[in-house]
Amino acid sequence: MPLSNSEKTYGSVTKTFHWLTALLILSAIPLGIIASDLAHDLQDTTTAPDEATLALTATLFSLHKTIGVSVFFVALARIVWAVSQPKPGLLNGDNPPEAWLAETVHWLLYGSLVAVPLTGWAHHAATTGYAPIWWPFGQALPFVPRDPAVAEFAATLHYILQWVLVGAVGLHIVGAFKHHVIDGDATLRRMLPGRSAAEPTAQQPGHALPLVTALAIWATALGGATALGWFSRVHENPATAEALAQVESDWQVQDGTLSVTVRQLGSDVTGQFADWTAKISYDETPDDSGKHGQVEVTIATPSLNLGSVSAQAKGTGYLDTTAHPTATFAADLLAREGGNVAVGSLTIREQSVPVEMPFELSIEGDTATAAGSVDIDRRDFGIGADVNNEGSLGFTVGISFELTAVRQ
């Protein structure tokens, strides 16, 4: 069997690309659907998800993503090869409606095989979450920032375009069986292993009208989703709380970030609390015990954004933000030989644990900048108590802050 195509038959390279793509697509689609269903079940925050379901969901998503990236590169290689090869003509080119539909489906397939995995990859790159792609080249994508809005937009695109792909694949399969069973021609046999040539009809469809039709289908799908408000939809966790009231403080925080980092399935996941207050008293001259002042931090736990695992992190068994809408850190600010340290107690889920957080401080006039970090053990607070495998969810949680405050 020749490697290259001819006017009447497909070569072995084209056939290999065709069946490899089919195998990858028919694996990726059900894996994605099953993993998504499991993920939606995990977002039910009324019950704590079990460790086995978490691990299975992550594995299925990683497999789906890895296959999806493979589809992307196989599709690019297939397109490059197709451009360099003659394309065997249709065996029913003298039937204009069928020929037009067949060419339209081919345009949809080629376009979708690039667009669907690329939008899924963009969603992965823009999302802080779990289920990595299984390869050694990193998880990011050039020009795609880690941003919730970008992730949401890419996820919506991926969802819409995947159904265009599913429809095109379905029509392609139906058409192949129609040719083989009803028409009895060699359309399907030409793509099977071995040499099976067939004489195309003299009349063949043009490329312009099918391409315009495919573009119209994509535009209709995206336009319909836009009209339904899918691109402006914001997913919110049902566990919400009123914004924390501003506090009276000797030093008023002007801006800052409060971040947490967890390790899930071997990957670091970093997020931030959007709503927190800090009541700070601080004097550059310490008292006899070395104490410079005090800090009281109140954190609105429902304001946590931890990417794709936000709902899980805020659900029952973890932060349980409905029952415990705030966490607090109260500490004395001390000067020690090694530097500054906040010594106090961190309270999460009504569990208080002694904590010492080293921090750096710089004061210029009435403006202060500070940054610090500390590691805690989630088990001390009953967070993820049912997940005892550190490979699934690390025991250590990193907490860090940066802030700028002005003396009042």
Instruction: Pull the structure tokens for residue 327.
Output: 């966490």
Query: How would you classify residue 331: left for phi > 0, otherwise alpha for psi between -120 and 50, otherwise beta?
Result: beta
Confidence of residue 25 (pLDDT cuts 50, 70, 90): very high
Most confident of 40-49, 250-259, 261-270, 313-322: 250-259
Burial of 337 by CB count in 10 Å (0-12 exposed, 13-18 middle, 19+ buried)?
A: exposed
pLDDT band at 241 (very low <50, low <70, confident <90, very high): low
Residue 279 has pLDDT above 90, yes or no: yes
Q: Are residues 194 and 262 in the same domain?
A: no
Q: What is the C-alpha to C-alpha distance for residues 188 and 22, in angstroms, rounded to an integer? A: 14
Q: Please enumerate in sequence order all residues whose Cβ is within 8 A of that of 125, keeping only pairs 6 or more positions apart, or say none.
A: 139, 140, 141, 144, 146
- pLDDT computed for residue 236 by the predictor: 46
Q: How far is CA 307 from the centre of its chain?
A: 8
Asked if pLDDT for residue 404 goes beyond 90, the answer is yes
260 pLDDT above the threshold of 70: yes
**227 and 257 part of one domain:** no
pLDDT of 239 > 50? The answer is no
Please check whether residues 181 and 52 belong to one and the same domain. Answer: yes
330 pLDDT higher than 80 = yes
Report residue 235's pLDDT band, with 50, 70 and 90 as the boundaries: very low
pTM score of the predicted model: 0.78
How many folded domains does the chain comprise? Answer: 2
Looking at residue 44, what is its pLDDT?
59
Phi and psi angles of residue 23, each rounded to the nearest 5 degrees, phi first: -60, -45
* In the chain, % of residues over pLDDT 90: 71
pLDDT band at 48 (very low <50, low <70, confident <90, very high): low
Q: What pLDDT does 238 receive?
A: 43
Q: Cα angle at 219 between 214 and 222, to 5 degrees?
A: 130
Q: What integer best gives the mean pLDDT of the chain? A: 90
Q: Give the pLDDT confidence score for residue 178 in this predicted structure.
A: 95
Q: How far is CA 401 from each of CA 63, 176, 268, 369, 374, rounded to the nearest angstrom?
A: 35, 60, 17, 11, 9
302 and 216 in a single domain? The answer is no
Is there a single domain that holds both residue 224 and residue 321? no
Confidence check: pLDDT of 234 > 60: no
* One domain for residues 25 and 173: yes
* Mean pLDDT of the region 147-166: 93
- The CATH number covering residue 367 comes to 2.40.128.110
Residue 245 lies in a domain: no
Is the model's pLDDT at 237 over the cut of 60?
A: no
Domain boundary among 171, 199, 232: 232
| Domain assignment present for 7 | no
Read off the CATH number of the domain in which 81 is found.
1.20.950
The CB density around residue 86, as the number of other CB atoms within 10 Å, is: 13
Q: Give 233's pLDDT tier (boundaries 50, 70, 90).
A: low
pLDDT of residue 98: 94
263 and 116 in a single domain? The answer is: no
Range of the domain at 320: 251-407
Task: Tell whether the model's pLDDT for residue 348 goes beyond 90.
Answer: yes
Q: What is the pLDDT of residue 337?
A: 83
Residue 202 has phi, psi (to 5 degrees) of -65, -35
Range scoring the smallest mean pLDDT among 7-16, 125-134, 361-370: 125-134
* pLDDT-based confidence at residue 242 (cuts at 50, 70, 90): confident
φ/ψ bin of 65: left (φ > 0), alpha (ψ from -120 to 50), beta (otherwise): alpha
How many C-beta neighbours within 10 Å does residue 205 have? 22
146/398: higher pLDDT: 398
Q: What is the pLDDT of residues 82-113, one digit of tens each?
A: 999 999 999 999 999 999 999 999 999 999 99
CA distance 348 to 383: 9
For residue 312, count CB atoms less than 10 angstroms from its CB and return exposed for 0-12, middle for 13-18, buried for 19 or more: buried
pLDDT at residue 372 is higher than 50: yes
- Higher per-residue confidence, 311 vs 122: 122
Q: Which of 348, 346, 345 is nearest to 318 (CA)?
A: 348
Identify the pLDDT of residue 43.
64
User: Rounded mean pLDDT of 134-158?
Assistant: 90
Please tell me whether residues 228 and 172 are part of one structural domain.
Answer: yes
49 — pLDDT class (breaks 50, 70, 90): low
Specify burial of residue 408 (Cβ count, 10 A radius: 0-12, 13-18, 19+): exposed
Looking at residue 405, its pLDDT comes to 95
Residues 208 and 306 in one domain: no
CA distance 44 to 47: 7
| 329-345: average pLDDT | 92
**Which 3 state secondary structure label does DSSP give 332?**
strand
Same domain, 255 and 364: yes
By three-state DSSP, how is residue 276 classified?
strand
